[in-house]
Structure formats: C-alpha cells, structure tokens
Amino acid sequence: MSHGLITAAILLAALASYALGMSSGALGLLVAGGVLELCFWARAFPGLGLLSKN
C-alpha cells in the first residue's frame, strides 16, 4: 500500500513542478518535473526498461 502512495506522491510532485516551472519560467523546476516523472514511470512499471533485473 505504501508503494502506491509514494508513487502517487511522486506523480503529484512532478505535476506541481511542471505547473510552477511553466508559470514562472524556471528551467530547474521543469527539469525536476521530468526527473520526478521518470521516477514515477520506473516505479509504476518496475519490470520494464533498462533498470529491470530481467
């Protein structure tokens, strides 16, 4: 259960970073949003991608 909550929190943080970055024009917030989104997708589908153990 906590894995899902952390994954949802990462998604919300990514969306907030995107929103703040777009409204203020801060490139760092847009980059942070991108990194958080990558973390979200890696946690949402752990068996896929370059970091999988398969």
Domain ranges of the chain: 2-44
pLDDT at residue 45, as a whole number: 83
Q: Give the global pTM.
A: 0.76
Nearest 5 degrees, angle CA 4-CA 5-CA 9? 120
What's 54's DSSP letter? -
pLDDT at residue 51, as a whole number: 59
pLDDT means over runs of 10, the chain (54 residues): 87 92 86 91 79 58
pLDDT at residue 48, as a whole number: 72
Cα 28 from Cα 2, distance rounded (Å): 28
Cα 28 from Cα 46, distance rounded (Å): 27
